[in-house]
């Protein structure tokens, strides 16, 4: 954690390299660092938490020796990891705010800083990674090693971050020349994978662009519903899993 | 015991290698080229939600490269080394983060060789679709359209947008001046003065200041030439005639190291073409 705090210390000086938007660069770097650290947490904590318990037979002991159901067990584990991700996001958000505040004091920005936008950007980032933890849990329930939960989660993260770009590309003149098969496959993944671009509010935070409360509510509901589907599926699969 | 010996030997080898290794790296030419940057679409698909920071990283890369050129006095030369890659990187950065002002500002600072002005203006127009509150982009685009492209109608439109966004009548005046195709040197001086005032990067500021000084000298000669024409009804044959008539006082100095002269149509030019001579390398 000290190392992380140390990285945030560098942000004001790194931002001074910007020619026209020092504070905006500080926000960019702070939010990017926050997002990257949350990604690492979500992938490695989400991908190994359940698998490690099964590998060390903790799950077997807990589920065999106590009246806890498998669903309660998996939900408990998930909410524990999610809470940790959320609390880390809160801490990183505070560190980001200090770094941004310091930079904005030293290099006052041309436009007004919207702290609420920064808060929302961190919150929706955290929500995105909580969703990713649910993906990792789902993969953990069907995997016998950590490869699928870790690398599967990373793959889904990258694909889910790119689906909106692919969809936008398909709407262009160039995209219309793509074969029908590829287009159908792309559209299938566009609707089936979580759309992470919706949770990315960095541009709104960095450039003080207005946020639409209706869209925020819609994105929040989308995230909650998607997490519910993933956890329900994970619970169903885990209930049928043979624990040795 | 074996492990300790292996560890100690490894540390000894490491220490022995460290000095020549770091010396080699220190002597290696710093960032010789900007290098290849993949298409924005590919980068967007690969970097997830880190588009803004990757765009900032690309900008930093170009800026460091440009700073190295300034140090070696290679800017403003007829051909800028790795110019195409530098501009392609800026376009990529703008597609990754279309709100990033550094990209447009830096692209605009590269147009003084008169090349790729149309591409730069298109980049600015792309930025205007996103930064619709920022008067700088139409200000830059207006200048490019008028000064380089001689497209006065486009210049007037851009300056009118800049005037609307900034609330400043400076841009309205600039627009009207360009609409009448008048006083281009003075407008360039005004433009550079504004750029110097708002510039934070020392390398870019320096390049603006040198050109500003060159244009001030050009303007001084132009004003003397115009007075000569009013007095005698024809253009002076040379700058010396202006001195002889007392219309020009003090030496005129080209900060790029050239010598000023008059074209047959009266246009003031310099033998340097306002381009710095590249530093000689052995």
Share of chain A above pLDDT 70, in %: 98
Are B49 and A196 inside 8 Å of each other by CB? yes
Token pair of A123 as six digits: 């919150």
- For the cut 50, the answer to whether the pLDDT of residue B280 exceeds it is no
H or E stretch at B69: helix B51-71
Rounded mean pLDDT, A163-178? 85
Write down the pLDDT at residue B257.
Answer: 85
> Does any domain span residue A102?
yes
What share of chain B has pLDDT > 90, as a percent?
21
**Is A214 domain-assigned?**
yes
* Alpha-carbon Rg for chain A in angstroms: 20
Select the highest-mean-pLDDT range: A212-216, B2-6, B107-111.
A212-216
| Contact status of A55 with chain B (Cβ, < 8 Å) | no
Chain B contact for A40 (CB, 8 A cutoff): no
Q: Which of A32-46, A181-195, B30-44 has the least mean pLDDT? A: B30-44
The region of weakest confidence among A78-87, A122-131, B6-15 is B6-15
For residue B3, tell me if it sits in a domain: no
Q: Say if CB A117 and CB A88 are below 8 A apart.
A: no
CB contact (8 A) between residue A17 and residue B106: no
pLDDT reported for residue B196: 78
Residue A13 belongs to some domain of the structure:
no
Residues B27 and B88 in one domain: yes
- Percent of chain B scoring above 70 in pLDDT: 80
How many other C-beta atoms can be found within 10 angstroms of the C-beta atom of residue A64? 10
Q: Which residue of A has its CA nearest to B131?
A: A207
- For residue A12, tell me if it sits in a domain: no
Once rounded to an integer, what is the mean pLDDT over residues B128-153?
A: 88
Query: B169 and B245 share a domain?
Result: no
What would the pLDDT profile of A183-198 be if each residue is shown by its tens digit?
Answer: 999 999 999 999 999 9
Whether B38 contacts chain A with CB within 8 A:
no
Q: Which token pair is B60?
A: 């930093």
Residue B1 forms part of a structural domain: no
pLDDT band at A61 (very low <50, low <70, confident <90, very high): confident
Please indicate, yes or no, whether residues B107 and B21 belong to a single structural domain of this protein. Answer: yes
Distance from CA of B197 to the nearest CA of A (A): 12
The CA-atom distances, in angstroms, between A95 and each of A29, A90, B126 are 12, 9, 34
Q: Lowest-pLDDT range, A116-120, B150-154, B174-178, B272-276? A: B174-178
Residues B68 and B152 in one domain: no
Whether the pLDDT of residue A156 is over 80: the answer is: yes
| Domain-located, residue B119 | yes
Pair of tokens at residue B91: 């376009």
What is the pLDDT averaged over residues B249-269? 88
Give domain status of residue A66, yes or no: yes
Q: Does B95 touch chain A (CB under 8 A)?
A: no
Domain count for chain A, please give it. 1
Q: Which of B29-33, B105-109, B148-152, B185-189 has the highest mean pLDDT?
A: B105-109
* Matching residue, tokens 């050129």: B69
Q: Looking at the structure, tell me whether residues B55 and B148 fall in a common domain.
A: no
Number of folded domains in chain B? Answer: 3
Greatest alpha-carbon span in chain B: 100
CA distance B151 to B138: 14
Same domain for B12 and B109, yes or no, is: yes
Answer whether residue B15 is part of any domain. Answer: yes
Closest alpha carbon within chain B to A38: B49
pLDDT at residue A53, as a whole number:
85
Rounded CA-CA distance A114/A209 in Å is 9
Residues B175 and B212 in one domain: no
* Among candidate residues A31, A41, A122, the one with its CA nearest the CA of residue A82: A41
* B47 and B124 both lie in a single domain: yes
pLDDT (0 to 100) of residue A2: 67
Indicate the average pLDDT of chain B.
Answer: 80
Neighbours of A63 (CB within 10 A): 17
Q: How far apart are CA A151 and CA A161, in angstroms?
A: 15
A200 CB near a chain B CB, below 8 Å?
A: yes
Note the ipTM here: 0.80
The verdict on residue A181 lying in a domain is yes
Note down the domain range covering A156.
Answer: 22-239
Residue B77 has pLDDT above 80, yes or no: no
* Domain ranges, residue B44: 8-132
Question: Quick one: average pLDDT of B127-142?
Answer: 92
3-state DSSP call for residue B9? helix
pLDDT at B268: 87
> Which runs of consecutive H residues, i.e. helices, occur in A57-179?
58-65, 70-106, 115-142, 147, 153-170
My answer on whether B149 and B49 are in the same domain is no
Confidence at residue A93, expressed as pLDDT on a 0 to 100 scale = 95
Final residue of a domain: which of B132, B165, B197?
A: B132
Round to whole Å and give the CA distance between B247 and B227.
7
**Contact in structure between B171 and B142 (CB atoms under 8 Å):** yes
- Whether B194 and B264 map to the same domain: the answer is yes
Q: What pLDDT band is residue A85 in, cutting at 50, 70 and 90?
A: very high
pTM for the full predicted model: 0.75
Same domain as B28, residue B108: yes
Which residues, in sequence order, are bridge partners of residue B269? B261
């Amino acid at each position: 954690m000290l190392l992380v705090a140390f990285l945030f210390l560098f942000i004001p000086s790194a931002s001074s390299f910007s020619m026209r938007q020092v504070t905006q660069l500080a926000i960019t770097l702070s939010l990017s660092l926050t997002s990257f650290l949350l990604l690492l947490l979500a992938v490695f904590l989400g991908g190994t938490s359940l698998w490690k318990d099964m590998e060390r037979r903790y799950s077997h002991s807990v589920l065999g020796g106590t009246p806890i159901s498998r669903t309660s067990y998996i939900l408990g584990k998930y909410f524990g990891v999610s809470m940790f991700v959320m609390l880390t996001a809160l801490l990183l958000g505070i560190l980001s705010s200090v770094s941004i505040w310091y930079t904005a004091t030293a290099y006052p920005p041309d436009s007004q800083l919207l702290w609420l936008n920064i808060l929302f950007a961190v919150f929706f980032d955290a929500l995105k990674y909580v969703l990713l933890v649910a993906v990792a849990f789902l993969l953990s329930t069907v995997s016998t090693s950590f490869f699928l939960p870790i690398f599967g989660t990373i793959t889904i993260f990258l694909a889910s971050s790119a689906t909106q770009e692919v969809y936008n590309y398909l709407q262009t003149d160039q995209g219309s020349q793509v074969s029908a098969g590829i287009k159908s496959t792309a559209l299938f993944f566009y609707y089936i994978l979580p759309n992470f671009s919706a949770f990315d509010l960095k541009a709104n935070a960095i450039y003080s662009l207005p946020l639409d409360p209706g869209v925020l509510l819609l994105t929040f509901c989308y995230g909650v519903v998607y997490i519910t589907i993933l956890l329900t599926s994970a619970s169903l699969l885990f209930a049928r899993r043979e624990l040795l | 015991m074996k492990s300790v010996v292996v560890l100690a030997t490894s540390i000894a080898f490491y220490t022995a290698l460290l000095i020549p290794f770091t010396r080699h790296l220190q002597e290696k030419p710093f960032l010789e080229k900007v290098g290849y940057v993949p298409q924005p679409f590919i980068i967007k698909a690969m970097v997830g939600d880190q588009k803004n920071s990757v765009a900032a990283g690309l900008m930093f890369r170009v800026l460091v490269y440009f700073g190295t050129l300034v140090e070696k006095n290679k800017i403003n030369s007829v051909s800028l080394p790795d110019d195409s890659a530098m501009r392609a990187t800026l376009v990529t950065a703008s597609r990754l983060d279309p709100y990033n002002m550094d990209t447009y500002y830096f692209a605009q600072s590269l147009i003084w060789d008169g090349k790729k002005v149309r591409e730069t203006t298109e980049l600015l127009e792309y930025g205007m679709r996103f930064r619709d509150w920022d008067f700088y982009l139409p200000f830059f685009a207006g200048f490019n359209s008028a000064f380089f492209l001689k497209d006065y109608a486009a210049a007037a439109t851009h300056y009118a947008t800049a005037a609307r966004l900034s609330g400043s009548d400076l841009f309205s005046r600039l627009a009207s001046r360009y609409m009448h195709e008048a006083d281009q040197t003075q407008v360039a001086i005004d433009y550079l003065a504004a750029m110097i005032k708002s510039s934070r990067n020392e390398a870019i500021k320096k390049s603006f200041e040198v050109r500003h000084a060159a244009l001030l000298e050009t303007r001084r000669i132009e004003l003397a030439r115009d007075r000569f024409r009013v007095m005698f009804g024809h253009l002076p044959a040379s700058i010396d005639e202006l001195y002889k008539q007392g219309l020009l006082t003090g030496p005129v100095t080209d900060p790029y190291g050239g010598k000023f002269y008059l074209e047959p149509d009266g246009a003031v030019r310099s033998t340097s073409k306002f381009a710095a001579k590249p530093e000689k390398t052995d």
